[in-house]
Structure 1
Amino acid sequence: MQKNIPDAGGPAFYSLADAAWILGVDRNEIHRAIRVGSLRAERRRSRLVIPAAELRRVLDGGVR
């Protein structure tokens, strides 16, 4: 028996390494962007992660 579960989409949060890969930059650039405040990160279970909405904002041109 197979259950029909709708696809919820991608993950809500990305690791720093995944975010760097998606944006096409080095992980050091991600750390720098977080430090200067141009990229928002959150702590989830003692890890820094980037919300998917924040990556969409940056990919759309970075305008808030």
Structure 2
Amino acid sequence: MQKKMPNAGGPAFYSPAEAAWLLGIDLNSIHRAIRVGELRAVRRRSRLVIPAAELRRALGGGAR
């Protein structure tokens, strides 16, 4: 028997390309936002990724 878990199944991190698609902006704009500090990104296994909470903040949903 499985328990229902709210918010389960969503990714914890997004690639810059996925974030650009979700935000509806150009990939270069994502990299620029990361570089100037408007969007937080972290390194995971040598890949640059954007935390899901940061992407929710950028979309105006706030972090949960």
TM-score (norm 1): 0.83
The corresponding residue for 2:37 is 37
Structure 2: distance between partners of 1:39 and 1:22 = 14
Shift of 1:4: 3.5
Runs (4+) of structure 1 exceeding 2 A deviation are 3-7
The whole-number CA distance in structure 1 between the counterparts of 2:45 and 2:12 is 14
What's the TM-score, normalizing by structure 2? 0.83
Runs of 5+ in structure 2 lacking a partner? none
Q: CA deviation at 1:25?
A: 0.3
The one-letter code of the counterpart of 1:60 is G
**Letter of the aligned partner of 2:58 in structure 1?**
V
